[in-house]
Amino acid sequence: MRNIIFLAPPAAGKGTISNIFSEKYGYIHISTGNLLRNINNSNLESKVSSLLKTGNLLPNEIVYEVLDDYIKGIKDKPFILDGFPRSIEQVKHLDKLVKELNLSEFVVIYLDIDYETAMNRALGRMVCPKCGRNYNKFIITSKPKVNYKCDVCNVDLITRSDDTEEVFKIRYNEYLKETFKVIQCYQDRGLLHTINAAEDLQDMVDKIIKIVEV
């Protein structure tokens, strides 16, 4: 199995697919956001948490240090990079790391989704406050059996407070602006595989498996 870089706008299904890959196929899911929020290096910890609290972007040097350490600790398991690289500078850093650690070339998966579909998904999201299961009122396969109730716990589902159209629009546009060059760069190298993220989840997983198995 080859290592994967996931590039996807918000609500394209990246989180769900990453979960399936780690549960079923033994992938390690490296979300740089989570990694930086859960640092256990005391030197970096206070620095990072104060930067995150003030909403500042972390300098690349810190992101590199944390990410490099983590990847070096993985050894031979396949992994998914989620949230990295987000700029050409970060692409170059990753190139260096691949050389240094003698990693095989990444498969870059771009989950392509149009604005309307992504927004419907984001706005339809509901979560069970008790068990954490995710539902979506706009996706047939993810709808709860009884409206607004968890299938397992039978408690009322809640929506995330940041899932509003306004917030979604900002995140979606920022994402495209930020990663456009990264997508272009991997396309030029012939490493980009575009998957239609409006498709059924299982179809997407099947397609990705075929690509990474080679």
Residues that bind Zn ion (CB under 5 A): 128, 130-131, 133, 150, 152-153
> In the complex, what is the shortest distance from the CB of residue 16 to Zn ion, in angstroms, rounded to a whole number?
17
SS3 43: helix
> In the complex, what is the shortest distance from the CB of residue 39 to Zn ion, in angstroms, rounded to a whole number?
30
Exposure string of 159-174, with b = 16+ CB inside 10 Å and e = fewer, is eeeebeeeebeebbee
Residue with Cβ nearer Zn ion (127 or 183): 127
Whole-angstrom distance, CA of residue 160 vs CA of residue 15: 15
> In the complex, what is the shortest distance from the CB of residue 112 to Zn ion, in angstroms, rounded to a whole number?
32
> In the complex, what is the shortest distance from the CB of residue 144 to Zn ion, in angstroms, rounded to a whole number?
9
Token couple for 136:
């979506």
Residue with Cβ nearer Zn ion (110 or 135): 135
Residue with Cβ nearer Zn ion (37 or 130): 130
SS3 105: coil
Residue with Cβ nearer Zn ion (135 or 168): 135
> In the complex, what is the shortest distance from the CB of residue 133 to Zn ion, in angstroms, rounded to a whole number?
5
**In terms of Cα–Cα distance, which of 37, 31, 95, 36 is closest to 65?**
36
Residue with Cβ nearer Zn ion (131 or 146): 131
Query: SS3 helix, strand, coil % of the chain, rounded to 5?
Result: 50, 15, 35
List Cβ neighbours of 87 (8 Å cut-off, separation of 6 or more): 178, 181, 182
